[in-house]
Every structure is written in structure tokens, then in C-alpha cells.
Structure 1
Amino acid sequence: MKSNYKIIKEKNINHSTKYAKGFKTKLIKEVKNKLEFGSDKAENKEIRLNGLIVGVTTHQITPPFVMEVEHDFPFIKIQFEIEGYSQYIPKNTESIPIIIPQDHYNFFYLPKVNGTLTYTTDTRRSVEILVTEAYLKRAFKNIFHKVSGAFGEALINKTPFKMHNEASKIPSELLLIISDIISCTYQKEIKQVYLESKINEIFSYLFSEINSNGVEKKEAKPSEGEVKQIVKAEKILRNNLDKSFTIDDLAVETGINRNKLKRNFKSIFGKPIFTYLTDLRMEKAKKMLVENSMNISEIAYAVGYKNPQHFTNAFKKRFNYLPSDLRKKGLLANIPEVDYIKEL
């Protein structure tokens, strides 16, 4: 089993990770990796158990950080995006877009992974649980097909599945379990039993949600060509934050009708077009406030606001403090981290 990554920067950088078949291991293993790609840095800790991997990752990067990713095995994953923004866009029809913003999560199954993975913030922290079908069937024994619902059906039919059409806010129940996993200090054999019980607790919660509420109805999946058009629209917005666009402008630029543009953009990126654009502008403005000496009016114009007061209002609504506060009080250094993730 192998995962391949090609990091798209000034030069393409290839990285691969090999795993034992079925993630098999007799005893718990902990693997730590530190990777540097120029100014971009990543720290990853993997806890490998028999049939599953828990990954805790921290990135310090210059966004957008883009990778081509391919796995030669079926992908069953729970992804908790603690800080940052993760976006997977497939190149094939055997997987679906997976967009997870900060403080959100999703549970998904992709029979084949081959696509583009993009991180759009300079700091990213995540907890990811990767499991095999064999592990889940072993954990839930003869009740697996009864409790797994639409997820179990997707496994049988080898069709992509995600629990939430749009990533869901991480519930407090799961935050507590994540904290228990990260802070566990038991020694090997005890730690293995303990962590497996916590993973099973997470899946029990997910299966309960699937069975009690059902999985959200699937929307019509964009075609491969439509995905490329939407990705092009996102790039146009990202590369022209100082300019104004209408839906019709983007439709003409990308060659897709306005209704499909609106519907498919939200399906792929998890937000309406102008909500997404506002978030891009606010993140860029925040970075500019910290890194250069431009005044607030100049920064407002640079991210597409003709009226600086409108920019200030939008910034306050997004971050709950004023642009001037960020500079005067050094708020960026004082914004508290969430306690449960400090072990990262």
C-alpha cells in the first residue's frame, strides 16, 4: 500500500509513504516525520495500530500549498480540521470533492484517490483517522452491516461516500475523544487497547448519527469537466482579490452557465461564491496587516474594497476585532489556541 504526493511549487517535489498491507502491525508503532520544502514545514506524528492509523499534523506553509495526491488503496477516513482549510478535488469519477474548513470534520470513503489537495492558510493543524474495512468489520463483528447504513452500502457498491455534503462543525463529544487520544501516555500494550477503544467510540458515534438522522441527500455530482471549470473560477477569484466580479463575469470566463456555477461552486468549495471570496479577502488582509506597513485604507483597496469602512466592518465581523487592533495590540500573537490541541 502506497501514498504518493507531488508538491507543486517552483520545482515539483515528490514524496511517498509505504504502508504494510491492510495497515497490519502486531504492536502499536509511533512514527514521527519532519519535512521541509523551502520555507514550508510539516510535522506529522502517526500512531499505527492493526488496521488503522491516527495522524496528528502541523503545517507552517505559504498558501496556497498544492499537492497532487494518489493512494493505491481504498480510503476510509475521518478528518478533523482543527485549524486551517483543506480542499481535495478529484481527477477521477471514483472519488468526490472533500472540503473541510477550520473547526469542521467529515467522514468519507473514496474507492480511489487521485486528485489535487490544497491548503489555503499559513497554519494548519489536523487529526486524521484512517482505517480499513477489515478493521471496522472486526471491531463491530456481526452487527457491522446493520449499523453502518449508507456507508456500508457504499463499501459494497464501491461508490464514494461522505457523511456530510458540507463538512460539519466538530461536536463536543468528538472533541473530548480526540483530546483523550492525543494526551494518552499509557505504555505500549495498554495504549493500544485504550486507543482502539477510543477509535471504536468515535465510529459508534458516527454510525449512531447515520442511523438516527440518515445521511444528507446526495446532490447531483458535477462532471469532471464542470469540476475543472469551478476550479478555474476559484483561481480567478484567488488571483484577483482586488477586482470586482459578478456571477455573469465568472460564468463567461469559465464557460459554464450561472446556475451551474453557483450550485457547483458551493458543492465543491462548501460555501457560496461571495462568502468564499470574502473569506479569501479577509485572510489576505490579515496577512498584509501583519507583514507590511501599508495603511488600512491601502489594504482595503488591495483586497477589493472601495470603501475602507466597509472593509473594517467586514473584518470585524469575520475576526471579532478591528484591523487596527491587530496592529496596536498584537492580537495575532495573543489569540488563544484551543486547549485540546496544544499537544500538537
Structure 2
Amino acid sequence: MTLRLYDEKIGQTLIEKEYPDTFFLNDGDIRECITYLKPPYGSGFYHEICFGSVHIGFGNISLAHKLLLYFETDFDSVEMHFTLHGKSSAISENFQKTVSFESYQHNIIYAHHMRGKMEFDGSDMKLLEINLAPEFFKKFLPENSELFDIFRTAIEDQNSCLMAPDHHRISLEMYQILNDIMNCERKGTFKRIYLEAKVSELLLLQLEQFFKNESSKSSLIKRDEDKIYAIRDYILHNLHQTCSLIDLAHRFGTNEFTLKKGFKEVFGTTVFNFWNDTKMDQAKRLLLEGSLNISEISDRMGYKNPRHFSAAFKRKYNVIPSKIRN
């Protein structure tokens, strides 16, 4: 099975990989590789993990300009696609329309022997893709659903298609699992067991969201929904900051009511619960890594007094930070 990615303008092949047949077999091994993007295209990486019937790929890329690439594949795959940031479009003779993804969107794609071109737009691209062997994927597909039956038939007839006609928004639960996958530091068999569980959990959330369909759609207009996701990104990159709801709303051109209502609707929690939970999760990770002491972690999380940090940590995990480290 071969994947080829090339720049037709200058006649240069960027990636050409021969995936072994064991890519789709349950042989118990894990294979990993990292491909780096270099000038003149930009900078960044794409990390691939292969085992059994699963291929995970995720990357973070900064582009110097819009990038147009051509691609060819000679195998079938079901792809769980998540665009965390940036824009991309794919045109292929297998699809009747251009398939475009924007920030915070996901879908499931069945691709049969693809050939076409892709355009990446945006200075920063961040995505995660999980490719599954079609026969392996069908084991997880529920019965007695028109949507899932149509997708199952498309796989059997080898007709490339999308699971949902419209992309869905990545939920908070999905984000948490995506981060777990990208930051997994386990090795060997333990890593495989962990990632298999996370892939199954992520697929469950996707299928549930597709099944609910109408009830999962936000009542917010797209402009306000984009602001809610931008606020979430700001929090993730500024965990140490303290900011009122009014200041946070005004920073992104919205109001306190829309922020409170929209954040709860999109992510199922309040702004400050999300901020605190994310902060404590990061603190726990730093404690387990052991490279910083408790006072340094407290300072990094924005606490002026380590005792206040310890009290907040205990409320979250019912144990003080020093016990976690020990």
C-alpha cells in the first residue's frame, strides 16, 4: 500500500511511503515515524503511529503561504478526521464535491484509491487523523440507523464518501482524548493498549454525535461559535492568567451573556470550570513528570501562594500535590 504526496509545480515528491501489509494486520507491533516540513514550504512535523488495523497521524505545521499538493493512494481506508486549527480542501475524482475542513471540525471519511489535490490555507495547521481498515471499522458501526447503513453500503460498494454530509464541531470530550493521544508517553505494548482504548472512545463520541445529529447542533450563529472556540484556545495558551468574564468576552468581541451561554452549550461546562480543570490537569502532568517542584508548578499555573494551589488541587483530585508526586 502506497501513499504519495508531491508538488506538481516543481515536480518534487515530498512524501512517498510504502506501508507494509502488516499495517492492516494484528501483529502486535507499533511503528512510529516523524516527518518534518522544511523551507520553502514552512516548518513543523507530522507524527505517525501504526499498529494492527490502526494508523494515527497528527501534526502541527506553520506554512509560509498557501500550499497546493497532489496525492495518490492505492488502498482503502476509513479516516476519523479532526482539524484542530487551519483550513484545508481536497478535490478528488472519487468525490462529487470539494471536501473542505476548517478549525474545530471533524468527520469520518471512507476513501477508496484516492487521487487528487489538496490545498492547505492558514499560517498554522494542526490536525489529527486516524485511519482504520474498513473491515475493522465496520465492526464498530451500529445497526438499524439509516446514516450508518448508507455509510456501510458505500464501503461495501467502494464508493468514497463522508459519514455526515456536514462536518460537526469537535466537542470538549473529544479534545481531551485528542490531547491524550498526542501526548501519550507510554511505550511498547502499554502504548498500544492505551491508544486502542482512546481510539475506540473517540470513535464512540463521533458516532454518538452523528446519531444525535440535530440535537448536537449549536443554536449559536457561526460567528459567535467561532469566538467561543477562540476563547477556549486562548485559555489553553494562558492558563496562568486571571481574567473576568467581561474582559474575556470583550477581548474577543462578544458579551458576557453570549460567552456564558455559548460556552456551556458548546462544551457542556462553564468557562471557569473548564479553566480550572485544564489548569489542574496540566499541573498533575507536571507533577508526574517531576522536572519542576511544587512551588514552580504553582507559579506556572498563576497562583501567587503555593498553599492556594495545593487547596485547589485537593478540591479537584482529593489529594494534595506532594502525595501525587510520591
TM range (shorter): 0.5 to 0.7
Deviation at 1:318, TM superposition (A): 12
Aligned to 1:13: 12
- Asked whether the equivalents of residues 149 and 211 of structure 1 are also in contact (C-alpha less than 8 Å), the reply is no
CA distance in structure 1 between the aligned counterparts of 2:18 and 2:96, rounded to whole angstroms: 21
Letter in structure 1 aligned against 2:171: P
- Return the offset for 1:104: 1.2
SS at 1:208 equivalent: helix
Which secondary structure does the structure 1 equivalent of 2:176 belong to?
helix
Residue aligning to 2:3: 3
Q: 1:75 to 1:133 in 2, by over 3 A?
A: closer
The 5-angstrom pairing of residues 105-124 of structure 1 reads 105-124=106-125
SS of the residue corresponding to residue 164 of structure 2 reads: coil
Alignment partner, residue 64 of structure 2: 62
Does the C-alpha gap of structure 1 residues 95 and 70 become closer, same or farther in structure 2, counting only changes over 3 Å? farther
Which structure 2 residues correspond to residues 114-153 of structure 1 after superposition, within 5 A?
Answer: 114-137=115-138, 140=140, 148-153=148-153
Q: What TM-score, normalized to structure 1?
A: 0.57
- The AA in structure 1 aligned to 2:3 is S
8 A contact 2:95–2:161 mirrored in 1: no
> Conserved in 2, the CA contact under 8 Å of 1:108 and 1:161?
yes
Aligned to 1:165: 165
Gaps of 5+ in 2: 215-222, 224-249, 255-277, 286-326
TM-score using structure 2 length: 0.60
Give the drift of 1:211.
3.9
Structure 2 counterpart SS, 1:120: strand
Whether 1:195 aligns to 2:187 is: no
Contact 2:37–2:61, Cα closer than 8 Å, also in 1: no
Structure 1 CA distance for aligned equivalents of residues 200 and 97 of structure 2: 25
The whole-number CA distance in structure 1 between the counterparts of 2:183 and 2:169 is: 22
- What is residue 49 of structure 1 aligned with on the other side? 51
* Equivalent position SS for 1:135: helix
SS at match of 2:208: helix
Distance 2:91 2:192 in 1: 34
1:98 pairs with 2:105: no
Equivalence for 1:36: 38
Amino acid aligned to 2:36: K
The 1-side partners of 2:47 and 2:173 are apart by: 23
**Does the 8 Å CA contact 1:79/1:105 hold for their aligned counterparts?**
yes
Contact 2:78 2:137 in 1 (8 A): no
Identity %: 19
Distance 1:318 1:119 in 2: 28
How far apart in 2 are the matches of 1:38 and 1:22? 35
1:76 maps to 78
Shift of 1:145: 5.5
- Residue deviations 1:293-335 (CA, integer Å, cap 9, x gap): xxxxxxxxxxxxxxxxxxxxxxxx99649xxxxxxxxxxxxxx
Q: Distance in 2 between matches of 1:95 and 1:77?
A: 18
Letter in 1 for 2:72: E
SS at match of 2:38: strand
Aligned residue for 1:59, secondary structure, equals strand
Q: CA deviation at 1:4?
A: 0.9
Cα deviation for residue 178 of structure 1 reads: 0.9
Does residue 88 of structure 1 match 2:96?
no
Q: Distance in 2 between matches of 1:61 and 1:20?
A: 30
**Post-superposition CA distance 1:157-203 (Å, at most 9, x none):** 22222133232211112112112212222221111011111111122
Determine the C-alpha separation between the residues in 2 that align with 1:38 and 1:150: 43
Give the Cα–Cα distance (whole angstroms) in 1 for the partners of residues 82 and 30 of structure 2. 22
Change (3 A) 1:31 1:120: same
CA 1:70/1:320 → structure 2, altered by over 3 Å: closer, same or farther?
farther
Question: Could you tell me which residue of structure 2 aligns to residue 175 of structure 1?
Answer: 175
SS at match of 2:186: coil
Counterpart residue identity of residue 80, structure 2 = I
Task: Count residues in correspondence.
Answer: 226
Deviation by residue 1:114-143 (Cα, 9 ceiling, x = unmatched): 1110001121111111111133246x4xx7
Do the aligned residues in 2 keep the contact of 1:95 with 1:113 (CA within 8 Å)?
no
Say whether the 8 Å CA contact 1:54–1:128 is kept in structure 2.
Answer: yes
1:154 aligns with 2:154: yes
Change (3 A) 1:97 1:199: same
Unaligned runs of 5+ in 1: 215-274, 276-316, 322-337
Q: 1:70 to 1:39 in 2, by over 3 A?
A: closer
